[in-house]
Structure 1
Amino acid sequence: MISALNQLVDLVEEHLSEELDVGRLAGSLGTTEYHLRRMFSSLAGMPLSEYVRRRRMTLAAAEVVRGEGDLLGIAVRYGYGSGEAFGRAFRAVHGAGPGDVRRDGGPLRTQPQLRFRLTVEGSTPMDTRLVDRPAFRLVGHAVRVPLIHRGVNPHIQEHIASLPLSEHQRLKDLGNTVPEGLLQVSDDVDPDGREGTELTYLHGVAVSGDTPVPEGLDVIEVPAGRWAVFRTSGPHPQALQSTWAATATEWFPSNPWRLRPGPSAVSVLDRTDDFTTATCELWLPVEPG
């Protein structure tokens, strides 16, 4: 995976003025575009699309400062059809328009070319098992919320708090398969993992594929497949979020598995009354890498 990411970075440099065919590269490397994008954003700390924009604007800024041709010509060279679109992208990266930078020589914010390296530190113990599951359903109450990487997501908190206590118990009684208990389900997540993009959050339980679903509940159909299950314990949600991050930085680069599209789920096995400490299982859909 580290080699694949570095080849992706090289491809970005070769085609900064063109649309990237990430799917074709992923196929040639024996992986998928979905997994490649998810791993890139997790390890680089930014979506692939943002990295491409920053690199384009880094090189474009050098041409702007050197006075190499008119601004529209530079815009076209870096894949922008108009000076206005180029100006917006330039300002978003550098904090000033290209005309101002040409006149004043700055400000400039440079994005160096990335290079991925694997450092095995064992800083995060990975208590993991692999589970094959037949098709099942995730049922409960779903809502669209923005993606927030760190800390508690207030939109999810508000959604859960809006449900009466009796509904939590009704869902618990409905669940009849693994993952067990009340689940925190994330689905339809942006492959680039961009902060603020919307995802579907479902507060619910897992049921077998033939279980009748009561009216008024949302359903996510989950096909048969393999899952990597990571057990976490400690301060919540920090321990869970640290383990989630470590799946990208430590587990996937060291194991012959890759993410496949589908929902992920967190099962809370035990927690304190104030939910500041918890033992959880993180379920991620995987396939051979």
Structure 2
Amino acid sequence: MRLDWLKRMMDALDLMEGSMEERLDIEEIAKAAYVSPFHFQRMFFMLTGMTIAEYMRKRRLTLAAQEIASSSVKVIDAALKYGYDSPESFAKAFRKIHGVSPSEARQPGVSLKAYPRISFHLSLKGDKDMDYRIVEKEGFEVVGKSIRLKDGEQPRIAELWAASNQDGTAARLSAFGDGDLLYGVCLDMQPGEGDFTYMVAGRIDASREHVAADAADGLERASIPAATWAIFPSVGPLPGAIQSVFSRIYQEWFPATGYEHAGGPEMEVYPSGDTTAEHYRCEIWVPVVKK
């Protein structure tokens, strides 16, 4: 299974590399990997730390710089070749990556950035089991506070949690009807751009809807659809322990199973307790479908 996954991912990368001078068709790229476009883009981001758009931009500007520095190609021709509508937009993106203008790239000895083609490898350590369970659940409602995040803004999540604990929001949310659990919910994910909404939330017990309606003043509500969830335990102090489990889900679990991401919200489920303790236990919920 893992070797099949590796071959499919490398085939997809071959297609991406062959699309440097044309419009990227994410449907075709994902088809080469035998997964949905959402799953491929989410996997790519979690494995590389870059969106596909960011990776393609860096690769195209690497190739453009090499071509400009080693030939007499016109800047406008290089811009059009690598997908830019105007020399101005090309020059702006070029300077952001390389620190110089396209014309300055022709000067002898100028320093340029090179972003090489990535490759995927599997680490077959086999020295640590990965526990999980598959659970089907009906849809439910959550209520809380959210922020919209762009690629690279993940540190703002810790700030949202700190503010929610400090102003009493977290205590309010844990009282909405789901025991003492709090949820960290990733909503409206746009994997191609890396954008998503993160909500610190409490789950609304349907039998206590009137309580939630009265207590939710100033908070937002969101619907979590019915789904099949792969649920993974995380043991250890936050945020390091749960970040490690997230990495293993995408680096080890998905390649080793017949599942892919279903495209819905992801959730972190936090019981009360000392989140800095070595034995603090929480969970990651990822919506999945069988391929």
When normalised by structure 2's length, the TM-score is 0.85
Q: Which moved more, 1:3-12 or 1:255-264?
A: 3-12
Identify which of 83, 87, 92 aligns with 1:88: 92
| 1:248 corresponds to | 250
| 1:237 corresponds to | 239
Alignment of 1:3-22 (within 5 A): 3-22=7-26
| 1:132 corresponds to | 136
SS in 2 for 1:81: coil
Within the alignment, does 1:24 sit opposite 2:28 as a pair?
yes
Structure 1 residue 28 displacement after superposition: 5.5
Seen in structure 2, the aligned counterparts of structure 1 residues 130 and 138 have a Cα distance that, compared at 3 Å, is same
Structure 1 residue 148 displacement after superposition: 5.4
Amino acid at match of 2:190: D
Seen in structure 2, the aligned counterparts of structure 1 residues 263 and 24 have a Cα distance that, compared at 3 Å, is same
Matched residues, number: 280
| 2:108 corresponds to | 104
| 1:203 corresponds to | 200
Task: State, as a whole percentage, how many aligned pairs show the same letter.
Answer: 30
Whole-Å Cα distance in 1 between the matches of residues 170 and 77 of structure 2?
60
When normalised by structure 1's length, the TM-score is 0.86
Amino acid at match of 1:32: S
Aligned-pair RMSD on alpha carbons? 2.5
Structure 1 residue 140 displacement after superposition: 2.6
Contact kept in structure 1, 2:12 and 2:32, CA below 8 Å:
no
Structure 1 residue 92 displacement after superposition: 1.9
Deviations 1:78-126 (A, max 9, x none): 1112111111222222222111110234212212222212222246542
| 1:141 corresponds to | 145
Seen in structure 2, the aligned counterparts of structure 1 residues 104 and 33 have a Cα distance that, compared at 3 Å, is same
Gaps of at least 5 residues in structure 1 are: none
Identify which of 64, 70, 74 aligns with 1:70: 74
Contact kept in structure 2, 1:41 and 1:193, CA below 8 Å:
no
Alignment of 1:258-277 (within 5 A): 258-269=260-271, 271-272=273-274, 275-277=275-277
SS in 2 for 1:280: strand
Seen in structure 2, the aligned counterparts of structure 1 residues 128 and 46 have a Cα distance that, compared at 3 Å, is same
